[in-house]
A and B are shown apart, each in its own frame.
Chain A
C-alpha cells in the first residue's frame, strides 16, 4: 500500500474506467480484438491498482466476493455453457444461438452459449489473478 494522494485519487477514476473497458473488450471480442481472456486481464489490473493504492484489505472489501470463488463460479459458467447443448442432442461445447429481433432486416441482438462461455473465461482469469495478487500482497 502506498500513501500517495495522487495515486489514491487517480485510482478511483481509473478502476471504474478499467472495469467498464474490460466489459467492453469482453463483449466486442466475437467480432473485434478482445474477448474473455483479455477482458479478465484488464478487469484484474483495475483491482490490482486498487490494491496497490488502498491496500489488499480495502480491495477485498470492494470485491465483495472471495476472488477464488469468482474464479470457480466462472469455471462453472463455462462448464454450464458447454453442457447446455447436450440437452439439445448436440455435442459438448457446440454453440447455441438465439437471435432476438428480426434477422432479415439485420435489426437483432444475437445471444449465444458461446457468450456465456466467454463470460466464464473472463471470471476465471479475473478471479485467478486477483487470488494470486491479493495473497501475495498480504504475505509481503
Chain B
C-alpha cells in the first residue's frame, strides 16, 4: 500500500519527515526533566486561563501517571515517526499523514496532561477525530472508510456520554479541576448522582479502550497503515480510556458498582480477545486482538483496586506499550519487504532479516513473560495481585492465567512462526528493512530487556509515582525479577508449560476455535451494520414525512404542533381558570381601538377569502400595519417602526416572488380547506387564551426597572430597547445577525443553485465521453 507513489522522487519524507521526528523527540526531552521532581513526590501544575468567566483554565497536571503516559507518547512517537519516514516517505500524501499524526500526538498529550475536565474532553475528541483521519488514510479503500467511520461513531458516542458525565461530576464537585476533584473522593462517592457519573464515565472509557461489548471497532481499525496501528491502537489512544479510569480511580473507584463493572467487563474482554487472537492467521490481527486482551487486563486490575492490583496494572501498562509497539512495527517491516502478513505463509525469515528478527524476538519474549525480561515482572505482579485479591480471586487469577498462556502462544505465532524454519522459495530475494524502520522496534525490544534486568529504574521513575497517583496514596513499589519460589512463580512455570504445548498444537486449536466462532450466532461487526442501516432507514422515514418539501404541510405541522402543545399546557397547568369581565373590557375600548380592530380583522378575512395571491399578500400587509398601530398606541415606537418596515419589505419580497406563480382561482375547491380553517381558528383561540391568561397576574416589572435604572448610567443610552440590543445583550444580537446572514446566503445559494445546477448536469452528461476517449 505504501508503494503507490513510488514515481514521485522525494528524500525519505523530506522536511515533513525530519520535523515530525524532531517535535516528539524534543517533547520527550522536555518531559524527561520532570522525572526527578515527580519521583520526589511533586506534582507541577503549568497553565494559563482560557475562559476565565466560566472558570475554564488550561492547566497541565504533571504527576506520575500523566508523566508516564507523556513519556510513552513522545518516546514511542519519536520512533514511530522515524519509522514512518521510510514506511510512507514516498507516499504522495505523506505530509498530510504527518499532519494528522502530529495532531493526534498533541491531542493525546493534552488528554493525559489536562487538569481541567472540559479541556480533557476537548483533547479526547481531538484524538477521536485524528484517529478517524488516520484510519481512513487510504481513503480509496471502502474497507478503510468503513473502519474509520465505525471507530469514529463508537468512540465519539462514548465521548458524548463522557462529556455529560463530566458536567454532572463538575456540578457535584463544584469544580472542574482534576487536582481538586481527586481529593474529594468520599464526597463524590456519597453523592446522589454517583451512579449516573459512573455509568457515563465508563461509557466513555469502555468505548475508547474497546472493552466488550464495544470491542469490535479496534480490530477493524487495523485497516490503518502500520505506524498508526503501532502508535494509536496499541501504545497510546486506546489507552486513553485506561488513563481515564486510572485517573478517576481515587475519585470514583473503590465502590461495589465500580469494582464489578470493571472486573467483569475487563475480565470478559481479556479471555474473549485471547481466544479470538489465536484464531487469526493475519499476524497484525493477532496483535490487534492481544491488544484488546491487554486493555481488558488493565481494566480488570484497575477495577480490582487494591494497591497490588494498581501496581500490577501500571507495570503492565509500560510493559505492554513497549513490546506491542515493537511487534506492530516489526510486522510492518515484514509486510513492507515480503508483501504479506499471513502466519501460514511466512517462514524462516531470520536468515534474510536478522535485525528485524532480533528486535521482534526481544519484544515477543517480553510478551510471553519469560525472565529476565520486563514482561516477566509484569506477569509475576499480575499473578501476585490476582492471588491476593479479596473478592473474585478465582475469576481474576483464572482470567489472567488464560490470558498469559494465550499471550505466550500469540508471541510464538507472531515471531517464532514467521522467522524460524526453512525459508520458502518465494522469499529468496527478501532483504532487511532500512535503518529508520528497524531502529524503533529494536530499541523498544532492547528496553524491554533492560528494564527487566535493571528493574529499579522503572520502579523509581515511572511505576512508583504512577501507582501513587492512581491509588491516591503512597504505595511502596519494589520491583524484582526473582525472590523466592512462591505461588505466582509456580503459576508462571505452569503458564510456560501449557503455553508451549498449545503453541505446538496451535494449528489444530485455530481450526477448533474457527468452528466455534462461526457457529456462534451473535456477531458484533455485522450487527453494527444492522444498527447503521436502521439509523439510515429512520432518517429517511422522518425526512420523507416531516421534510416533505410541500410548504403547506410544513406550515400545517408547525401550527398544529403549536396549537396542540400550547393548548395542552394551558389545560394541564390549570391556566384557564380565570374570570373575565367581558362587558367591562369592551366598555374600556376607545374609538381608535375599534378602528384598529376593524382594520386588522378585515385584512385577515380578506386574506383568507381572496382568489388572488397579490391581494392576499397586500391584505396580510394590512394586518401587519394594524399591529404596528397597536404598538404605537402603547408607546413602543422602536417595535412599531421595525414592524412597519418588515411588513413593507415582506410584501415587496413575496410580491416579487409571486409574479411568476399561477392564479389562486382553484383554491376554494381544495379538499383540505375545512381542515385548514379549523386549524387557523384553533391557533387563534389558543393564542387569545394565552394572552388573556398572561394578563391575569400583575406584570413583573423587575427587568423594566433594572434597565430603567442602569441603561443611562452604565451604558450611556436612554433608548432602553436599543441599549439592550447592542449592549446588555449584544451577544444575542450578534447570534441573530449571524443567522440573518446565513439565511440570506442560503436563500441566495438556493436561488442561484438552480441555475448552476443545470450547468453541472451538462458537465455530467459530457463526462462519460471524455473517459471513453481516454480508454
> A: which residues have CB within 8 A of B?
29-38, 41-42, 44-45, 48, 52, 68, 71-72, 74-75, 78-79, 82, 91-93, 95, 97, 110, 112, 114, 117-118, 120-121, 124-125, 127-129, 131-133, 135-137, 139-140
* Chain A residues, CB < 8 A from B733: 78, 117, 121
B532 at the interface (CB under 8 A from A): no
Contact A33 B734 (CB under 8 A): no
What is the chain A residue whose CB lies nearest that of B658? Answer: A140
Are A41 and B646 in contact (CB-based, < 8 A)? Answer: yes
User: A33-B719, A42-B645, A95-B715 in contact; A135/B734 too (CB < 8 A)?
Assistant: no
**Which A-B residue pairs are the 8 nearest by beta carbons?**
A128-B744, A93-B730, A41-B645, A33-B637, A30-B717, A35-B722, A124-B737, A135-B751
- Assess A41 versus B649: contact at CB under 8 Å? Given A75-B738, A137-B656: yes
* Chain A interface SS verdict (over half): helix
Whether the pair A136, B737 counts as a contact (CB closer than 8 A) is no
Are B748 and A68 in contact (CB-based, < 8 A)? yes
Q: In the complex, what distance in Å separates the CA atom of A36 from the CA atom of B649?
A: 16
The interface residues of chain A lying within 8 Å CB-to-CB of B338 are: none
Evaluate contact between B715 and A78: CB separation under 8 angstroms. no
Asked if B744 contacts A30 (CB within 8 A), the reply is no
Nearest to B646 among chain A residues (CB) is A41
Pair B730/A117 contact, Cβ less than 8 Å: yes
Distance of B655 from chain A, by nearest CB (Å): 10
From the candidates B649, B657, B659, B730, name the one contacting A114 in the complex (CB within 8 A). B730
Chain B residues, CB < 8 A from A78? 733-734, 737
Pair A75/B737 contact, Cβ less than 8 Å: yes
B512 within 8 A of A: no
Tell me whether B723 is interfacial, beta carbon within 8 Å: yes
Tell me, rounded to whole Å, the shortest Cβ–Cβ distance linking B641 to chain A. 5
A139: which B residues are within 8 A, CB to CB? 751
Q: Is B642 close to A, CB under 8 A?
A: yes
Residues of A within 8 A of B718 (CB): 30-32
On chain A, the residues within 8 Å of B727 by CB distance are 93, 95, 114
**Mask for B734-765, Cβ within 8 A of A = 1, else 0?**
10011011011101100110000000000000
B660 at the interface (CB under 8 A from A): yes
CA distance A25 to B727 in the complex (A): 17
Note all chain A residues with C-beta closer than 8 A to B721.
Answer: 35
Given contacts A29-B719, A139-B751, whether A124 and B649 have CB atoms under 8 Å apart is: no
* Interface size, B (range): 35 or more
Q: What would 25 A/B residue contacts be, using CB atoms closer than 8 Å?
A: A30-B722, A31-B718, A36-B726, A37-B642, A38-B641, A41-B645, A41-B646, A41-B649, A42-B645, A71-B744, A82-B730, A82-B731, A93-B730, A95-B715, A97-B716, A110-B716, A114-B717, A117-B730, A124-B741, A128-B744, A131-B744, A131-B745, A133-B652, A139-B751, A140-B659
Task: Judge whether B730 and A75 touch: CB under 8 Å.
Answer: no
* Closest residue of B by beta carbon distance from A95: B727
**Known interface pairs A33-B638, A44-B649, A132-B653; A75-B741 also in contact (CB < 8 Å):** yes
Closest residue on chain A to residue B749 by CB atoms: A135
Residue of B nearest to A49 (CB): B652
A45 to B743, CA, bound (A): 19
Residues in B neighbouring A127, C-beta threshold 8 A: 741, 744
In the complex, A92→B659 CA distance in Å?
45
Q: A residues within 8 A CB of B743? A: 128
Q: Are B723 and A133 in contact (CB under 8 A)?
A: no
Quick one: given A29-B719, A133-B656, are A68 and B737 in contact (CB under 8 Å)?
A: no
- The reply to whether A114 and B715 contact each other, CB–CB distance below 8 Å, is yes
Once bound together, how far apart are the Cα atoms of A118 and B656, in whole Å? 29
Q: A75-B738, A75-B741, A124-B740 are in contact. Are A133 and B653 (CB under 8 A)?
A: yes
The yes or no answer to B53 lying at the interface (CB within 8 A) is yes
- Tell me, in angstroms, the Cα distance from A118 to B734 when the chains sit together: 10
Which of B648, B721, B748 has the largest count of A CB atoms less than 10 A from its CB? Answer: B748
Contacts of B734 in A (CB 8 A): 78-79, 82, 93, 117
B725 at the A interface (CB under 8 A) = yes
Binding site for A on B (CB under 8 A): 53, 637-638, 641-642, 645-646, 648-649, 652-653, 656-657, 659-660, 715-719, 721-723, 725-727, 730-731, 733-734, 737-738, 740-741, 743-745, 747-748, 751-752
Are B730 and A132 interface neighbours, CB within 8 A? no
| CB atoms of A38 and B642 under 8 A apart | yes
Contact, CB under 8 Å: A136 / B638:
no
Report how far A125 CA is from B736 CA in the complex, Å. Answer: 10
Other A-B contacts than A41-B649, A128-B743, A132-B653, 5 sampled, CB-CB below 8 A, are A35-B725, A44-B649, A45-B645, A114-B727, A140-B657
| Highest count of chain A CB atoms <10 Å: which of B660, B715, B719, B730 | B730
What residue in chain B is nearest A117 (Cβ atoms)?
A: B726
B605 to chain A, nearest CB (A): 28
Whether A114 pairs with B646 at a CB distance below 8 angstroms is: no
C-alpha gap A97/B723 in the complex (Å):
14
CA distance A33 to B719 in the complex (A): 7
Residues of B within 8 A of A82 (CB): 730-731, 734
Residues of B within 8 Å of A133, CB to CB, are 652-653, 656
A42 partner residues in chain B, CB cutoff 8 A: 645
A137 to B747, CA, bound (A): 13
Whether A68 contacts B744 in the complex (CB less than 8 A), given A37-B725, A136-B657, comes out as yes
- Complex CA gap A119/B151 in Å reads 47
* Contact status B719-A74, CB under 8 Å: no
Judging by beta carbons under 8 Å apart, are A34 and B646 in contact? no
Chain A residues with CB below 8 A from B648, complex form: 45
Select one of A35, A48, A114 contacting B652, CB under 8 A: A48
Complex: how many Å from CA A92 to CA B637?
29
Which one, B638, B723, B744, contacts A38 given CB within 8 A?
B638
* Complex interface: chain A residues within 8 A of B737 (CB): 74-75, 78, 120-121, 124-125
Cα A84 to Cα B113 with chains together (Å): 32
Q: How far is the CB of B333 from chain A (nearest CB, A)?
A: 51
B719 is contacted by which of A30, A75, A91, A120 (Cβ under 8 Å)?
A30
B730 neighbours in A (Cβ, 8 Å): 82, 93, 95, 114, 117
Bound-state Cα–Cα, A97 to B642, Å: 27
Closest to B657 in A: A136
Which A residues touch B719, using CB under 8 A?
A: 29-35
A121 contacts B726, C-beta separation under 8 Å: yes
Query: Roughly how many angstroms separate A32 CA and B731 CA in the complex, as a whole number?
Result: 22
- Inter-chain CA distance A139–B747, complex, in Å, is 12
Contacts of A32 in B (CB 8 A): 718-719
- Distance, CA A26 to CA B520, complexed state (A): 73
What A residues does B748 contact at CB under 8 A? 68, 131-132, 135
A71 and B747 CA atoms in complex are apart in Å by: 14
Contact between chains at B723 and A30 (CB < 8 Å): yes
Please report the C-alpha to C-alpha distance between residue A121 and residue B463 in the assembled complex, in whole angstroms: 59
| B751 & A136 in contact (Cβ 8 Å cutoff) | yes
In the assembled complex, how far is the CB of residue A16 from the closest CB belonging to chain B, in whole angstroms?
A: 18
Central interface residue in A34, A38, A48, A120, by most chain B CB within 10 Å: A38
Q: Is the CB of B740 within 8 A of A93?
A: no
Known: A30-B717, A33-B638. Is A129-B752 also a contact (CB below 8 A)? no
Closest to B747 in A: A132
- Contact yes or no, B649 A35, CB < 8 A: no
